[in-house]
């Protein structure tokens, strides 16, 4: 089990609010992906989070909770990712909810398990954009500035470019990878085939595959190998 996110190239994101059969979950956990991220924008509860975690825990793959609701913070994960949505218009998603959660749990947190994600949401139609009231009308310079903010100003270990539900602008993603010094670029959104996974792996450090697992599982599972092929070719060249 590898808990060093700088080594992660591929991650599956599972939504506790969606059904996944035991058979498919087993394929996901044994797929060779680097980690399973548990998270969603709506309908995430303590109970469905714990249920999903317990099912993933039968396997060795690292299991991470991406916290989006204080009520759904559950112990037992390997790591906890805390998104700070840098382009949220609702400040609760930048620091407000975080402050409330720390009021409750700040004294008992194991900080070695906590990683901050500087998060930018670019698909205005996504649930995440609606919930956070994200300002998605951003140009390249805006996104570059957010990347620098996450990487240099806030020193987030992860800069997450979120297009949830649509395949994004890979040139833009690649541009952010060129300019960050320490942060790892996570890209998620609309990866529903090995070909899109390949393009995303060429642009970002870490590729996140979510919805496709529920809609086109065979294609989604094939993204693991597609990302691995890009990394292997990169090492050889």
Residues 39, 68 contacting (CB under 8 angstroms):
yes
- The 163-202 site mask, x for binding ligand 1GP (CB under 6 A), equals -xx----------------------xxxx-----------
Q: Which residue has the tokens 């190998």?
A: 225
CA pair distance 164, 188, nearest whole angstrom: 6
Binds ligand 1GP by CB under 6 A, chosen from 162, 172, 183, 224: 162
Longest CA pairwise span in the chain (Å) = 50
**Closer to ligand 1GP at the Cβ: 12 or 61?**
12
Q: How far is the CB of 194 from ligand 1GP (least distance, A)?
A: 14
Taking the CB of residue 45, how many other CB atoms lie within 10 A of it? 14
Residues 6+ apart with CB under 8 A from 202: 170, 174, 230
Size of the site for ligand 1GP (CB under 6 A): 13
Question: Which range in 88-96, 99-107, 176-184, 206-214 contacts ligand 1GP by CB under 6 A?
Answer: 206-214
Binds ligand 1GP by CB under 6 A, chosen from 5, 12, 13, 38: 13
Q: How far is the CB of 52 from ligand 1GP (least distance, A)?
A: 15
Does 16 bind ligand 1GP (CB under 6 A)? Our answer is no
- The 114-153 site mask, x for binding ligand 1GP (CB under 6 A), equals ----------------------------------------
Give the angle subtended at the CA of 117 by the CAs of 206 and 165, to the nearest 5°: 60
CA pair distance 79, 110, nearest whole angstrom: 10
Residues 123, 163 contacting (CB under 8 angstroms):
yes
N- to C-terminal Cα distance for the chain?
27
**Closer to ligand 1GP at the Cβ: 10 or 13?**
13
Does 88 bind ligand 1GP (CB under 6 A)? Our answer is no
Residues 143, 155 contacting (CB under 8 angstroms):
no
Beta bridge mates, 80:
65, 114
**Closer to ligand 1GP at the Cβ: 13 or 148?**
13
Give the pairing of strands 79-85 and 63-66: parallel
- The 207-226 site mask, x for binding ligand 1GP (CB under 6 A), equals -xxxxx--------------
Residues that bind ligand 1GP (CB under 6 A): 13, 162, 164-165, 188-191, 208-212
């Amino acid at each position: 089990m590898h808990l060093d996110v700088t080594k992660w190239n591929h991650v599956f994101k599972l939504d506790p609010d969606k059904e996944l059969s035991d058979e498919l979950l087993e394929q996901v956990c044994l797929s060779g992906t680097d980690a399973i991220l548990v998270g969603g924008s709506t309908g995430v509860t303590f109970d469905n989070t714990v249920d999903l975690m317990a099912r993933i825990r039968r396997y060795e793959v690292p299991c991470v909770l991406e916290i989006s609701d204080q009520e759904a913070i559950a112990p037992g994960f390997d790591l906890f990712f805390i998104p700070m949505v840098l382009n949220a218009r609702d400040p609760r998603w930048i620091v407000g909810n975080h402050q409330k959660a720390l009021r409750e749990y700040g004294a008992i947190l194991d900080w070695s398990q906590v990683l901050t994600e500087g998060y930018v949401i670019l698909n205005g139609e996504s649930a995440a954009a609606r919930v956070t009231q994200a300002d998605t009308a951003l140009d390249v310079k805006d996104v570059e500035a957010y990347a620098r903010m996450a990487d240099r100003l806030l020193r987030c270990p992860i800069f997450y470019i979120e297009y949830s539900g649509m395949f994004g602008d890979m040139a833009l993603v690649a541009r952010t990878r060129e300019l960050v010094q320490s942060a790892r670029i996570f890209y998620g959104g609309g990866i529903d085939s090995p070909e899109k996974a390949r393009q995303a792996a060429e642009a970002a450090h870490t590729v996140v595959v979510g919805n496709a697992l529920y809609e086109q599982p065979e294609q989604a599972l094939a993204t693991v190998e597609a990302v691995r092929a890009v990394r292997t070719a990169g090492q050889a060249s």
